[in-house]
Structure 1
Amino acid sequence: MIEIGKINRLTIAKKLDNQCYLDGGELGELVLVDVANAARQIGDNVEVFVYIDGKNQTVATTQKPKAQVDEVAWLKVVSLSHAGAFLDWGLPKDLLLPFSEQKGKLVEGRSCLVRLFLDENNRIAASMLLDDFIQDEAFYYKEGQAVELIIADFTELGFKAVVDHKYWGVLYKNEVFQPLKRGQQLTGHIKKVRPDHRLDLILGQEKYGEKVDATSAKILAVLAKHGGHIALTDKSPPEMIYDTFGVSKKVFKQAIGGLYKQRKIVIEEKGIRLSETP
């Protein structure tokens, strides 16, 4: 079944004067609106994005948009008009964000977080009202499972993120050790599925013991590179520790504690130093 607003794999059924027509099944023949059709032949399978154009015709293109229907994306506002705002989504015809689907003031040149949907006429549109589409309760996820995240907002707890374009989840700020911004896409993991089926998220998934061991080795390497001394201790700000080693303060403290017990380092008031004891 062909899905409007999504990538489909279709077969070229007819070719006339370098214009290709695709087998659209129940939708009939679809025009492939690409200019470069000379090399394509009848019977070729083509990955195309299917949509309804300004003439109310269902057409296809091999150009890939920045987002498909049912997906969330961070898109730039290219113009404002009486019909609403228009967004750059990677296709020649800009994407409409109707007034009824807007939230807050929009400014040309700035971006906003939207979810793509089909309106009552099967035309693709965007909405900033994510709560109308994104669900709080998620099922079938397991702890440790990798998921795709889009940062949506900042809260007192941390960061609100969209999980796999479908569900809300939370990254707690005391467990995030890198700068994040709205619209940023990254891979995370399910830290916990709460009894109410809401999702707690985490960015790293390396086992804690393995992370401490890896950090210990990195500390020794950095010390050797910097003459045996660095100006970091377990009292240093978490941001400085993360900028140097890419880990939380807790992992860093565990690592230097282990190195100290092994007599590989000396912990001083203003830093740590390689031990002279073999």
Structure 2
Amino acid sequence: MVKVGKRQTMKINNFSSKGAHLDAGTGDSKDNILLPNNELEGKVLDIGDELDVMIYRDSEDRLTATLRKTALTVGTIGKLYVTDTNEKLGAFLDWGLKKELLLPHAQMVGEVKPGDEVLVGIYEDSKGRLSATMKIYSFLMPNKDYQKNDFVEGTVYRINPEIGVFVAVDNRYFGLIPNSECFKKFYVGEEIQARVIRVREDGKLDLAMRELAFVQMDKDAESILGKMKILKTHFRFNDDSSPEAIKEYFGISKKAFKRAIGKLLKEGKIEKTEEGFFRLK
């Protein structure tokens, strides 16, 4: 059975002025699939030879074979460059064939423009045509490689204000930065490094952008000192400051802020004013 969008081995049934015709396995020569002449240049082939090909639909919607290697096949995920956009259709992606891959508007996440590199999965639509989608949740797999506190790399593919930031770890595993760990703004397509804070029973990974507390505390303390040097007497943060204000200005949680302030007080680098704020000592 012919599998559109997948590499497979097919046998040459006959030749014509158009190219080699590959046996589709149906027993009917009318179903044979053309491997065009431009694919045969420089090759010596005979009837009965087996070829490793991929099947796709050409510009006239006919099943066609190619020997060329595409960047992705159906069911796989990867990053492709946007070559052009069309107001009605969507975006066109370079995946290694003359006929570019369509990323329909309905399958986009956020703004897409020429020159962008987008993380997509390849699927076969209801009409048997190959298309790309940025909605890749169903393409991802449970983690098999990472444990708690491991550091990972991934790509942001979706942002849900109520849940958090969805990340494709290694562009293959389920990852999520929960809202409680989101201390900066993210954007779709952003490549990040994060720490695994939990491996769920289903293999999905919860992530944090911050290191272990005792390591991160030093970095937070240095950041706060830097802010204090800039603001000087206008530094108006203390134990009563709201978590929202601390997160917006420092990009950390209130708990992390208090931990870093405690470290600076203990080291004698800052002191508390009569008003209850902090200043450089």
TM-score between both structures, scaled by the size of structure 2: 0.59
Distance in 2 between the 1:263 and 1:22 partners?
A: 77
Tell me, in whole angstroms, the C-alpha distance in 1 between the residues paired with 2:167 and 2:159. 7
> Is the alpha carbon distance of 1:109 and 1:245 closer, same or farther for their aligned partners in structure 2, counting shifts above 3 Å?
closer
Q: Which amino acid aligns with 1:249?
A: K
Residue 179 to residue 22, structure 1, CA distance change in 2 (3 Å):
farther
Amino acid at match of 1:216: A
Contact 1:75–1:114 (CA under 8 A) maintained in structure 2: no
Please give the secondary structure, in 2, of the residue aligned with 1:213. helix
2:203 to 197, 205, 216: 197
Alignment gaps of 5+ in structure 2: 8-40
Root-mean-square deviation (CA, aligned residues, Å) is: 4.7
Q: 1:173 to 1:192 in 2, by over 3 A?
A: same
Question: Is 2:122 the counterpart of 1:116?
Answer: yes
256-265 or 237-246, larger mean C-alpha shift: 237-246
1:113 Cα shift? Answer: 6.9
1:160 aligns with 2:171: no
Q: Are residue 169 (structure 1) and residue 179 (structure 2) matched?
A: no
**Aligned counterpart for 2:260 among listed residues 235, 255, 263:** 255
Q: Is the 8 A contact 2:123 2:130 kept in 1?
A: yes
Deviation at 1:95, TM superposition (A): 1.6
Aligned to 1:210: 215
Give me the whole-angstrom Cα distance separating, in 2, the residues matched to 1:80 and 1:26: 42
CA–CA distance in structure 2, aligned partners of residues 267 and 74 of structure 1: 54
Match of 1:143 among 135, 140, 148: 148
Match of 1:58 in 2: 66
| Cα drift, residue 237 of structure 1 | 4.5
Tell me the CA shift for residue 74 of structure 1: 8.8
User: For residues 189 and 106 of structure 1, do their structure 2 counterparts lie closer, same or farther at Cα, with a shift above 3 Å needed?
Assistant: closer
Correspondence 1:89 to 2:93: yes
Q: Which residue of 2 aligns with 1:43?
A: none
Q: TM-score normalized by structure 1? A: 0.59
Per-residue deviation at 1:250? 1.9
**What displacement does 1:142 show?**
1.4
Matched length: 228
1: CA distance between counterparts of 2:168 and 2:258?
32
Bigger Rg, which one: 2
Deviations 1:103-160 (A, max 9, x none): 699999699974124789x98531356344234x333321223131323230533223
Question: Which residue matches 1:230?
Answer: 235
Compute the displacement of 1:254 (Å): 0.7
Provide the secondary structure at the position in 2 that maps to 1:212.
Answer: helix
The corresponding residue for 1:184 is 190
Q: CA deviation at 1:273?
A: 0.8
**Percentage of pairs with the same residue:** 26
- CA deviation after TM superposition for structure 1 residue 229, in Å: 5.6
Displacement after TM superposition at 1:199 (Å): 1.9
Further displaced range: 165-174 or 222-231? 222-231
- Offset of residue 26 of structure 1: 6.3
Q: How many angstroms does 1:166 deviate by?
A: 2.6
- Taking the aligned partners of 1:172 and 1:144, their CA distance within structure 2 comes to 16
